[in-house]
Amino acid sequence: MSFIRHNPAFAGQIAALYHLKPGDLFLDLTLGDGRHSQEALEAGARVVSVDVDEDSITRAVNFLLGKYSPVIVRPNTINSVVPPDFIWLIIHANFTVIGSLAKQYALPLFDGIVADLGTSQNQLAIAERGFSFNLEGPLDMRLDTSLGVTAADLVNVLSTTELTDLLLLADEYQGHAIAKAIVTARKKTPIKTTGELAKIVTGVKRVTSGKINPATKTFMALRMAVNLERESLSLMLPQTPDLLASGGTLGVISFHSGEDRIVKHFMKQKQKEGILRVVNVKPIKPDQNEIQTNPKVRSAKLRLAQKH
């Protein structure tokens, strides 16, 4: 399968946003297809990239073949050794444990940290991963394939009330009707595929906009629940100030108001504590030029804070 590389929000802007210079240390908590990491490498920074999805790591390495060759470590395997003079280090792990990884691998303090939340276009494009309502596949949605619970497990087990609450994660306000339809459908036969779920949602949801697929929010909420995305963000953020050098910058790109709120409150709180300084009171959004060439990033919001 050949892939078109994921085009992230703020592509081409990382070096400038972080004022990166040769020799800086940069931590990319969400490697994806590796564009943000590449931009930091090209600015002369040494880069540590993290991703929980093995496929993303394989793709990023392939996209940069012949340009940069990383040292790759997997914390769960023994003999993972990090040479002190690495240029590009990739860690296959969840960013929720970044604090202990930094200790385990004796990582130096960073001048910049970025987290570009969610999934890449290529993860959505693989039918077998089960993220897309457009592609028939198993209802899976796990970024970390070693996790035990899939989206199919959730839709076949949770009660109507639990499903309604889950759907609120992605602001799906017609969640009760959708949850009832799911529970009715699964009484006949368990819901196993993306297509089956999309059909159930489409059959019951009142459509208010012709542009957006009625199943969009249901799929997003399930993905957020399967991968504990809000919880992971809330666990990761408090670990980051200790990883930054004085003057270093933390940046988080989010695509959903609930996540942006978590980032905003965290940065404000750390500012009150005198640990971080909020760089931009209002989130930075992609400009019209970027949205025109890459419409998928239209809801992106970037917040930056600098360590004192």
Ligand X SMILES: C[S@@+](CC[C@H](N)C(=O)[O-])C[C@H]1O[C@@H](n2cnc3c(N)ncnc32)[C@H](O)[C@@H]1O
Binding residues: 51, 95, 116, 123
Question: Between 146 and 189, whose beta carbon lies closer to ligand X?
Answer: 146
Does 53 bind ligand X (CB under 6 A)? Our answer is yes
Contact pick of 120, 174, 240, 306 for ligand X (by CB under 6 A): 120
Q: Which residues between 56 and 75 bind ligand X (CB under 6 A)?
A: 56
Does 112 bind ligand X (CB under 6 A)? Our answer is no
Does 118 bind ligand X (CB under 6 A)? Our answer is yes
Question: Between 32 and 251, whose beta carbon lies closer to ligand X?
Answer: 32
Does 50 bind ligand X (CB under 6 A)? Our answer is yes
Binding letters toward ligand X, positions 188-227, x by CB under 6 A? ----------------------------------------
Q: What angle do CA 91, 94, 99 make, to 5 degrees?
A: 80
Quote the least distance from Cβ 7 to ligand X, whole Å.
8
Does 232 bind ligand X (CB under 6 A)? Our answer is yes
Contact pick of 6, 205, 303, 307 for ligand X (by CB under 6 A): 6
Does 8 bind ligand X (CB under 6 A)? Our answer is yes
Quote the least distance from Cβ 62 to ligand X, whole Å.
13
Q: Residues of 62-79 as b/e, b for ≥16 C-beta within 10 angstroms?
A: ebbeeebebbebeeeeee
CB atoms within 10 A of CB 58: 12
Considering just the CA atoms, what is the radius of gyration of the chain in Å?
Answer: 20
Question: Between 8 and 241, whose beta carbon lies closer to ligand X?
Answer: 8
Contact pick of 15, 26, 27, 32 for ligand X (by CB under 6 A): 32
Whole-number Å distance between alpha carbons of 6 and 17: 20
* Nearest to 146, CA basis, from 66, 54, 60: 54
Whole-number Å distance between alpha carbons of 94 and 161: 30
Quote the least distance from Cβ 93 to ligand X, whole Å.
7
Q: What is the dihedral of CA 210, 215, 219, 225, to 10 degrees?
A: 110
Q: In what order do the strands lie in the sheet with 25-28?
A: 71-73, 88-92, 46-51, 25-28, 110-116, 244-254, 301-307, 276-278
* Nearest to 152, CA basis, from 167, 137, 134: 137
Binding residues for S-adenosyl-L-methionine: 51, 95, 116, 123
Angle, helices 160-168 vs 175-188, to 10°: value is 130
Does 116 bind ligand X (CB under 6 A)? Our answer is yes
Question: Between 57 and 244, whose beta carbon lies closer to ligand X?
Answer: 57
Does 52 bind ligand X (CB under 6 A)? Our answer is yes
Whole-number Å distance between alpha carbons of 118 and 279: 23
Does 175 bind ligand X (CB under 6 A)? Our answer is no
- For 66, 169, 183, 210, 252, the CA distances from 220, given in Å and listed in that order, are 36, 8, 19, 18, 19
Stretch of 15-23, 94-102, 213-221, 237-245 lying at the interface with ligand X (CB under 6 A): 94-102
> In the complex, which residues of this chain contact ligand X (CB under 6 A)?
6, 8, 30, 32-36, 50-53, 56, 94-96, 116, 118-120, 143, 232
